[in-house]
Chains A and B, each alone.
Chain A
Amino acid sequence: MNRIGKFIVLDILKNKIVLVYTLILAILSWSVFSLEDNSTKGLLTLLNVILLTVPLVSVIFSTIYIYNSSEFIELLLSQPIRRSKIWFSLFFGLSISLLLAFFIGAGIPILFYAPSDVGIMMLLVGIFITVVFVAIAFLSSIATRDKAKGIGIAILLWMFFALLFDGVVLFLIFQFADYPIEKIMVGITALNPIDLARILILLHLDVSAMMGYTGAIFKNFFGNQVGIIAAFTILLLWVAVPFLISLRKFRKKDL
């Protein structure tokens, strides 16, 4: 890791919000696992955390942090440092700190109580979701100079992916109930990283139900090795594409 990244990580780790985030994740994870007698229920609670809280915190915290770093970025820009390096360092710094928070808060309890394939998948998916929403934060904070607007865009994007998108999909499913739309639906889900993450976990958590009629189609698609690689490639694209777009914009941005 480069030196700027190190400074950023150290700076974020001192940030109270990240500490609180870690603490909340930890309290939540340890309590759901120790209160429930089977780990499946604990995993279910964590699933909702991973699908809602993790993206929300990742995207909003990162957006705010990027805006608040404008001075820092300015300071660095007057130094002999490549622009893209600054942006990359910021990205790695944010990702690593939030991943660390996620891993300490949720990862350790998962590994402790549910070191099964569901647990591992959850950990992986949580990691990807964190980084994806950090990347989305970069996109929303480069979109406008106005901090309030930027945070607004970040929240809207989160709402869209976490809530609205599913509503649209449900609507489509009801509208086209008479048509064989399963395969198209698989494609549509790939457009939402949260849904993709959820289905990856579902395939492990509800494997019996997923062997049913529609489930089988997802299982066939996402369940085998090729599918899993495809799913993670798509998640990786969800990291790369927003970030690279933001990088392109940042390189041409006036500060």
Chain B
Amino acid sequence: MIEINNLSKNFARLKVLNNVSLSCNQGECIALIGPNGCGKTTLIKSILGMVIPTEGTIKFKDTFITNNFEYRNHIGYMPQIGRYPDNMSIGQILDMIKELRKSDIPIDEDLFHQFKLKDILNKKMRTLSGGTTQKVSATLAFLFNPDVLILDEPTAGLDPLASEILKEKIIAEKKKGKLILITSHLLSELDDLVTQIIFMQDGNVQFHKTVDELKSSTGEEKISKAIAHILKNNTHE
């Protein structure tokens, strides 16, 4: 579904992505992990067209995304820190996005109801806590039933209850056969979610493996442990 070929991105002299090639397919739930500054967010933003790659190509459903915007109809994106116009209320944001999209697809308001956003519909965005903002972001990401979900640190800032609701939602969507890309630092959270792991470091993809492969190769039961195992081995080498 998403084909990334030899993608490189430089910010001035800094090389953030170095010849990254990846392929993600329907039904997969991929965790994109790596230390801070490894290029995760840049990779995601490249896929979304927010960052223009220096070199390489990205294909979405077999079409190049350069100078194309329609493919974003099929992507739901939840940013790491959702920032919204201060003066608008939650209701206005939701209405605006709905009006902008004007899609025929039935709207998925599960999260809207579960997060009880209805009660705070008239609150201005600037008055919201980080967690509530994330709830809005999550709701927006799932709103149009997209084929692909890109979630950048989805649970950071959410309270455990909300975090659980979101996880449930992700699992439900996964079951519908959607492609889900998650970045997270909290590896423990990913256990029951992901089927594949992409590990990045210094702009390179270190490995792209299924969870099963990973577990069997390291002999660990938990993803976090498995990753830790690999990292340890790497530093020993």
Contact = CB atoms under 8 A, between A and B. Distances in A.
A binds B: yes
Interface of A: 3-4, 7, 11, 14-15, 68-72, 74-83, 252-255
B50 A74 contact: yes
Nearest to A2: B100
Nearest to A69: B85
26 contacts: A3-B96, A11-B88, A68-B86, A69-B85, A70-B83, A71-B84, A72-B84, A74-B50, A75-B82, A75-B83, A75-B84, A75-B97, A76-B100, A77-B48, A77-B50, A78-B72, A79-B72, A79-B97, A80-B101, A81-B72, A81-B100, A82-B69, A83-B49, A252-B52, A254-B11, A254-B45
Nearest to A72: B85
Measured as residues with beta carbon below 8 angstroms from the partner, the interface class of chain B is: 20 to 34
Looking at B45, B71, B79, B83, the one whose CB has the most chain A CB atoms below 10 A away is: B83
A74 B87 contact: no
Contacts, number: 65
A163 B83 CA distance: 38
B75 to A, nearest CB: 7
B63 interface: no
A34 to B, nearest CB: 34
A116 B207 CA distance: 75
Interface in B11-27: 11
A255 B84 contact: no
B43 to A, nearest CB: 13
B46 to A, nearest CB: 9
Given A71-B84, A77-B48, 15 more contacts: A4-B100, A7-B96, A69-B85, A75-B82, A75-B84, A77-B50, A78-B48, A78-B75, A79-B97, A80-B71, A80-B72, A80-B73, A253-B52, A254-B50, A255-B45
Nearest to A70: B83
Nearest to A78: B77
A71 B49 CA distance: 15
A137 B45 CA distance: 26
Contacts of A82: 69
Contact of B69 (A71, A81, A252): A81
A15 B85 contact: no
A152 B96 CA distance: 33
A71 B85 contact: yes
Contact of A71 (B72, B83, B96): B83
B14 to A, nearest CB: 12
